[in-house]
């Protein structure tokens, strides 16, 4: 993919490697894509050109910090039970991502109000967590692909005070790894809290729906269309 950059983001406690796809000229906003279980920062980066073909956004894709013996790739947390992340590994990744997001906002000259957090599977969970966490700034939007809002000790959502966040949920009805019921519960919780929720179910398993790319691209363009052009990518 054109324009990919790899960086090592040094944080106070940990470090995250991430890839970037710069915008064409000054960026309208920031899109952070969090990958799923057992992959890396390059897994979702191709979505950048699919969802933002005009390269209006600066896109960053971090690599999860956890390696699990016997399993490939990188992970955001251990999974004792689907829907309920291991508190210790979840907290470590949550802290590392929070530090990375802060560094990106400072370095690029943008802010959370012009940031979209997106992710697939585990990365979707982390996008929900960082976007809805009571101790974190509210982003403009969350792109939630085949994941869930976590139930985990030490974290609580603050959806009721974040009605300005726009959310797009996409989930396969036949998903054998993360049941579609998690998506339905997330939709109900967020709508009850007053958020603008777009919702899409498809006849598929634990993967992205290729037929929904056009609608997702239109949603992202709608979200970011009102962002003022800033100094990202200086």
Token readout for 23 is 């915008």
Residue ranges making up the domain that contains 75:
5-224
Position 233 in a domain: no
Classified as helix, coil or strand, 4 is coil
**What integer pLDDT is reported at residue 3 of this predicted model?**
55
List pLDDT tens digits, range 177-227. Answer: 999 999 999 999 999 999 999 999 999 999 999 999 999 999 999 999 978
pLDDT bin (cut points 50, 70, 90) of residue 234 is very low
pLDDT of 13 > 50? The answer is no
What are the pLDDT digits (tens) for 79-136?
999 999 999 999 999 999 999 999 999 999 999 999 999 999 999 999 999 999 999 9
Examine residue 13 and state whether it is found in any structural domain, yes or no: yes
Q: For the chain, how big is the Rg over CA atoms in Å?
A: 16
What's the pLDDT score for residue 231? Answer: 39
CA–chain centroid gap for 71, Å, is: 22
Q: Say what the pTM is.
A: 0.92
Number of domains in the chain: 1
User: What is the helix, strand, coil percentage profile of the chain, to 5?
Assistant: 30, 25, 45
232 in any annotated domain: no
For residue 164, tell me if it sits in a domain: yes
The pLDDT assigned to 10 comes to 36
87 is a domain residue = yes
Band of the pLDDT at 143, cuts 50, 70, 90? very high
Hey, how many other C-beta atoms are within 10 angstroms of the C-beta on 192? 10
* Look-up of token digits 């064409």: 24
CATH of residue 110:
3.40.50.1820
pLDDT by residue (tens digit) across 31-54? 999 999 999 999 999 999 999 999
């Amino acid at each position: 993919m054109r324009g990919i950059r790899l960086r090592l983001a040094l944080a106070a406690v940990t470090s995250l490697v991430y890839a970037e796809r710069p915008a064409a000229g000054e960026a309208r906003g920031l899109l952070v894509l969090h990958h799923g279980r057992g992959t890396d920062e390059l897994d979702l980066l191709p979505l950048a050109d699919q969802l933002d073909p005009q390269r209006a956004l600066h896109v960053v894709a971090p690599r999860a910090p956890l390696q699990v013996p016997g399993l490939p790739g990188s992970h955001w947390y251990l999974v004792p039970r689907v829907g309920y992340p291991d508190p210790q590994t979840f907290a470590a990744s949550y802290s590392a991502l929070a530090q990375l997001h802060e560094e990106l906002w400072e370095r690029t000259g943008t802010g959370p109000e012009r940031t979209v957090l997106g992710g697939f599977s585990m990365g979707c969970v982390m996008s929900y967590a960082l976007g809805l966490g009571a101790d974190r700034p509210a982003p403009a939007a969350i792109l939630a692909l085949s994941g869930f809002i976590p139930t985990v000790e030490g974290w609580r959502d603050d959806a009721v005070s974040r009605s300005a966040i726009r959310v797009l949920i996409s989930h396969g009805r036949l998903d054998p790894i993360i049941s579609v019921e998690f998506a339905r519960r997330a939709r109900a919780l967020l709508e009850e809290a007053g958020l603008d929720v777009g919702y899409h179910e498809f006849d598929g398993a634990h993967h992205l729906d290729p037929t929904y790319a056009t609608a997702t691209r239109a949603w992202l363009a709608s979200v970011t269309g009102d962002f003022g052009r800033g100094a990202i990518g200086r």
